[in-house]
Chain A
Amino acid sequence: TQLLEQSPQFLSIQEGENLTVYCNSSSVFSSLQWYRQEPGEGPVLLVTVVTGGEVKKLKRLTFQFGDARKDSSLHITAAQPGDTGLYLCAGAWNYGQNFVFGPGTRLSVLP
């Protein structure tokens, strides 16, 4: 079974701080997705990355896919309380394979 690891598991920061969370695997991804999940709701897709070295931005969120397509990072600039939630990465190692989810990083942004 191919596994995804996410770090850190928990992160608590003050409003206005920057942070980075990580997702990695020992195998090469064909594509990788990031989701955010708020309490009592299902995960919602933030972004999909496919190409090694790819960088995508979504307002204050910056997503990077590693050159070797084995890892990805999510950087949040000037975090806000509304960014609080569980951040999940999901990877597929082969086209048409179901995505496998990592355990998530639980972020808490304090006002």
Chain B
Amino acid sequence: DAGITQSPRHKVTETGTPVTLRCHQTENHRYMYWYRQDPGHGLRLIHYSYGVKDTDKGEVSDGYSVSRSKTEDFLLTLESATSSQTSVYFCAISERQGNMNSPLHFGNGTRLTVT
């Protein structure tokens, strides 16, 4: 199994509070991704990183920011959590972007509930 650790695994927070989710990899892969998974929507890309301090937006980036200060760590921050951000968040890594020979490897997810 790819070495990807997400923390925390579960979190309950109140509307308006800031929240940071962490993804840590031990594979030295260049690309890291944050997805959210909601019923009926599959996995939707929030942000991704193509190197240290290099990030870009995905299809559902509003309300989220990311940072990558080290190859192994990719942080997802909800500046002011809203109930619509209640979801399961997955981190993924890959050696190359959108490459048939470079699959995505996923962590086990963080279940976030915003009350």
Binding site for B on A (CB under 8 A): 1, 4, 6, 9, 30-31, 33, 35, 40-45, 48, 50, 88, 90, 92, 94-104
Contact = CB atoms under 8 A, between A and B. Distances in A.
Which of A35, A48, A97, A98 neighbours the largest number of chain B CB atoms within 10 Å of its CB? A98
A45 B95 CA distance: 14
A103 B42 contact: yes
A48 B109 CA distance: 23
SS class of chain A's interface: helix, strand, loop or mixed? Answer: loop
B109 A42 contact: yes
Given A9-B40, A98-B33, A98-B48, 6 more contacts: A42-B90, A43-B106, A88-B43, A94-B98, A97-B97, A98-B45
A103 B41 contact: yes
A101 B97 contact: no
Contacts of A104: 42
B42 A96 contact: no
Given A31-B100, A96-B99, A101-B44, A44 B108 contact: no
A42 B108 contact: yes
27 contacts: A1-B59, A6-B42, A9-B40, A30-B100, A33-B100, A35-B104, A42-B92, A42-B108, A42-B109, A43-B104, A45-B105, A48-B100, A88-B42, A90-B104, A92-B100, A94-B98, A95-B98, A98-B45, A98-B48, A98-B58, A98-B98, A101-B35, A101-B42, A101-B43, A103-B40, A103-B41, A104-B42
Interface string B69-99: 0000000000000000000001010000111
A43 to B, nearest CB: 5
B8 interface: no
B70 to A, nearest CB: 22
Contacts of A42: 4, 90, 92, 106-109
A99 B42 contact: no
Contact of A50 (B35, B41, B45, B100): B100
A102 B42 contact: yes
Contact of A96 (B43, B98, B101): B98
